[in-house]
Structure 1
Amino acid sequence: MSRAHKNLRAVNRAKVLNIIITSGSISRVKLARMTGLNQSTVSKIINQLMEEGLVYESSRDSSHFGRKPVNLKLNERYRIYGAIDISLWTTTLAICDLDGGVLAQKKIVTVAGDSESFLTYCAKTVAEMAAGFKEPLAGVSVIVPCMLNSRSGFIYSNRTLGWKDTDVKGLVSKHFDCKILVENDGKASALAELWFAREARELSNFVFVLVVVGIGTGIVISRHLHYGSNFLEGQFYAGIIEIDGRWEDLSERDTWEDSSSDLGVVNRYCDFTGSECDPDTSRQMQRIIDMARQGDYQASRALKETARYLGVGIANINNGLDPERIIIGGKIVQVWDMIIPGLLDLVERQTPFPIVNLSERVVPSSLTNPTFTGARALILQDLFGGCHLMSQPPPTDGNGYAGKLEFAGTRF
């Protein structure tokens, strides 16, 4: 068998498997239609996957006429995986099945300063949790709110946590005999969006903007992976912006990220009300959202003003990359109807050629926890390959096509 034929078989297998994963439950007939492969090819792939224990027949379709086709599902306990999902205030440690089901979980406070001790504790704890299960560990995903080298798993810095020059992969791998995958929160969220979110299903390229205590981004362009040579591309967190006719020089201590994130909302609310800021920004952000929903004027004001600053950065992304969609995730999308008018107003003002409907280009994410979902996407991509369903497959030679998922991301 030639190398080209082997590659094509591997790609076809990955396509079938990834559609089963993203669909949840699907028949062979639908698989053939969605992949563009003939039914005999699909059947051969399915038989092999069933022999390996990766896929099983779950139920019959609910069609009303004729013989009801049998649905196929991923065997979620074929492997399990570990997740270390670190945010600035809270870290989630978990063992999950391949369907994303949480089998064991522990939430702890993220410790600033000594990154090595904290990461070592996280790794030990997840290893102890995994020891309680008989299934093999496919890998451990580590999601961090930091600039890092995604290939080596080496953190460059996080100024809020005071973490710098830390070998995350090296520290965590001491406690496991499996793959360790390290990614920042923006990239992991974009990967989750690409795999699982309905609003990204038909897209060839988009930018995901994760609004948390900081701002992270992930970029998908023509399904082609792009990282800078040192994984430091796209650092737009500091610069000069114009808002309401005035120029603002954003310094290292007052960046666009600080002005447009959950931190910006909390700081504005406390300024407006003369109240003390909660050290846990994420917790206070949720309280402000809840108050705004109940009609609190100052809470609504803080959210709307922050959304306008967020719009400035969105305009820069829109003008620079011209993506099909800019998808926003984070707590702030809970009040989308409240923030979108001001955000779009700033984007429209700073868009020199407004030839598209911006209200359709800038949309909220449907993912409730994109970083944690990103931990699963990293494992699935590593375990089963990066091929993903494309909305409009290119012409085939009758045997399918060799699609390729590629992904890139930045962090502001």
Structure 2
Amino acid sequence: MTRGAVSVLVQELIAQGLIYEGATGEVARGRKPTFLHIRTHDRLAIAVDVRFSKTFLMLSDFSGRQLALETYDTIFNVPQFVKDLAARIRRILKTRGIEGDCEGVGVAVPGMVDHRTGRILNAPTLGWRDVDVRDPLAAATGLPVQVENSGRACSLAHMWLERGEAASTQSFVYISVSDGVGVGVVVNGELVRGHDHIAGEFGHMPLSLDGPRCMCGMTGCWEAYVSNLATLSRYFGWNLSKLSPKSLRDAERKTFSVPDLVARARGGDAKANTAIQSTARFLGLGLATIVNVVNPDCIYLAGEITSAWDL
């Protein structure tokens, strides 16, 4: 892109009020640069993170600053999910959205999403297959809605919001370990989506065909070894292959969590430490496969289990 084309685009964005000019920089020679900034303080967005156990609803500004957060049990019936979520969005904007105008809603789900249409192709932990929540939610709220796979959403957030050395990394893999395992792959600054927009499903690569049952219905998936539920199952002696989906949901919603398990391990609970060390071993096996396949500059690992990194 030529310098002239860039200047035209910048002037259009300034005219639209989306960016603004800041201070002038200092250089040894030549024309001093003018810093440009994205207008963030009065532009709001709704972020929705749908998980197997809980749904997280956050209001933030365009810099990612959290203004309000609400957590509630996930609703699996799609029409009820959309109706309830729309009501919660309207309420949080009415009570906490006085700082600016909301410009849209982003929904992250643990499953395969067709980025072109926004349809959720398959989210096995939610029991959703070929589901459309984007258009009904947009109609119910009057706001633009984007739906994305949770792992890829984390990768995009990292690219857009990180500063310093982390922001300069062009090839990385972002892994989020929670109720499941979400993975996003970025190569040369571009998010890898694949031919059918479902690339990066490393959580369902098999570590063993004779392993525990995964919530996707298969056995031995990486997710079935390292998710929060898998870690807690080792401690409590649950057999994931024999638990029903309802039992799994009830187990996830119990008050005891992975941070509680980590606290017990730090307090000298040998059984808790063994459960965490087993998860660490299986995490390492999966990470080694990702390194061999993608060979990224670095891997970012997120989730409650990372609080046990020093154990």
TM-score using structure 2 length: 0.79
* 1:267 equivalent in alignment to 2:265: no
Question: Matches of 2:260 and 2:195 in 1, distance apart?
Answer: 41
* 1:205 equivalent in alignment to 2:171: yes
Which residue in the other structure is 1:79 paired with? 43
8 Å CA contact 1:240–1:250 kept in 2: the answer is no
Question: Which structure 1 residue ranges, 5 or more long, are not aligned?
Answer: 47-54, 56-73, 339-412
Which residue in the other structure is 2:291 paired with? 318
Counterpart residue type for residue 108 of structure 2: I
Question: Matches of 1:125 and 1:93 in 2, distance apart?
Answer: 8
Counterpart residue type for residue 271 of structure 2: Q
Q: Please state how far the C-alpha of 1:305 moved relative to its aligned partner.
A: 0.6
* 1:335 equivalent in alignment to 2:311: no
Question: Matches of 2:178 and 2:48 in 1, distance apart?
Answer: 17
Q: Please state how far the C-alpha of 1:238 moved relative to its aligned partner.
A: 4.5
Equivalent residue for 1:117, pick from 69, 76, 80: 80
8 Å CA contact 2:206–2:219 kept in 1: the answer is no
Which residue in the other structure is 1:395 paired with? none
Deviates more, 1:147-156 or 1:97-106: 97-106
* 1:93 equivalent in alignment to 2:91: no
Aligned length: 288
Which residue in the other structure is 2:115 paired with? 150
8 Å CA contact 2:172–2:186 kept in 1: the answer is yes
1:182-239 Cα distance to aligned partner (Å, 9 max, x none): 1121111112222334562231211111111211111110112331222122434445
Percent of pairs with identical residues: 27
Question: Matches of 2:12 and 2:49 in 1, distance apart?
Answer: 27
Equivalent residue for 1:176, pick from 124, 138, 141: 141
Which residue in the other structure is 1:9 paired with? 7
Question: Matches of 1:14 and 1:38 in 2, distance apart?
Answer: 25
Secondary structure of the equivalent of 1:174? helix
Q: Please state how far the C-alpha of 1:38 moved relative to its aligned partner.
A: 6.5
Q: Please state how far the C-alpha of 1:13 moved relative to its aligned partner.
A: 7.6
Counterpart residue type for residue 28 of structure 1: T
Q: Please state how far the C-alpha of 1:331 moved relative to its aligned partner.
A: 0.7
Higher RCO (C-alpha 8 Å, min separation 6): 1
Question: Matches of 2:10 and 2:298 in 1, distance apart?
Answer: 28
Question: Which structure 2 residue ranges, 5 or more long, are not aligned?
Answer: 239-246
1:10-63 Cα distance to aligned partner (Å, 9 max, x none): 6768999xxxx9xxxx85327x79xxx9755x43x75xxxxxxxx6xxxxxxxx
